[in-house]
Amino acid sequence: MAENPEKAAEKFEKKVEDAVGHAEKVYDDQVDKLERQAEHAGKHDERVIKHAERQVEVDAGLAKVHVDHLVHKAEKAGEKVDRAYEKVAEKVERGASDEAIARAEAHAEKVEAREEDKLAKTIEREEKHLKNDAEAAVRHVKDAAEKLVDSGVDLAKDAAKDASRVDEAVENVVEKLQD
């Protein structure tokens, strides 16, 4: 028994309409999914940027501490040297013996040399700390940039997968039309 051509046409039309409806639903679902992913990626990117900013602020704060420590040490060294030379001046003013003045001058010179050495070591140490702080800040910014790139790559991969799903649904519609 041959099927009525009108009913066959209606069945075919129904089949095509269902396939088109399914393709539209797949497309809409994938677009919605991509929008949600993009929104999530945007929030993720904001968190990554804020985290990097906080890390750089911490690194800058540590660098400030190191600079303040260096300034403090330099001031203290200057005070010690000044005090040693003030003692020499006091001895000269009091009219102390030449031997006492010579000892005070020798002592002041030793204090000055010792403080210069200590300050040079402190500068060297603080320079290393400052370099580490700067490298850490750069590393934090670099890590954040990599995370942002990875996030964009992941989103692009998801978009490609979603596009392939939509393509499959459209191909099904074309197959239904060809049947």
Q: Is 79 left (phi over 0), alpha (psi -120 to 50) or beta?
A: alpha
Q: How high does pLDDT run on average in the chain? A: 84
- Return d(Cα 58, Cα 52) in angstroms, integer: 10
Sketch out the chain's domains with CATH numbers. Answer: 5-178 (1.10.287)
Q: Which residues contact 105 (CB under 8 A, 6 or more apart)?
A: 88
CA 174 to chain centre: 49
Backbone angles phi, psi at 96, to 5 degrees: -70, 165
Q: What confidence tens digit (pLDDT) does each residue in 4-54 have?
A: 777 777 777 787 787 778 778 877 887 787 788 778 877 888 888 888 888
This prediction's pTM: 0.64
The total of other beta-carbon atoms located within 10 Å of residue 104's CB is: 20
Q: What is the pLDDT of residues 103-145, one digit of tens each?
A: 999 999 999 999 999 999 999 999 999 898 888 888 888 888 8
25-37 pLDDT, tens digit each: 877 887 787 788 7
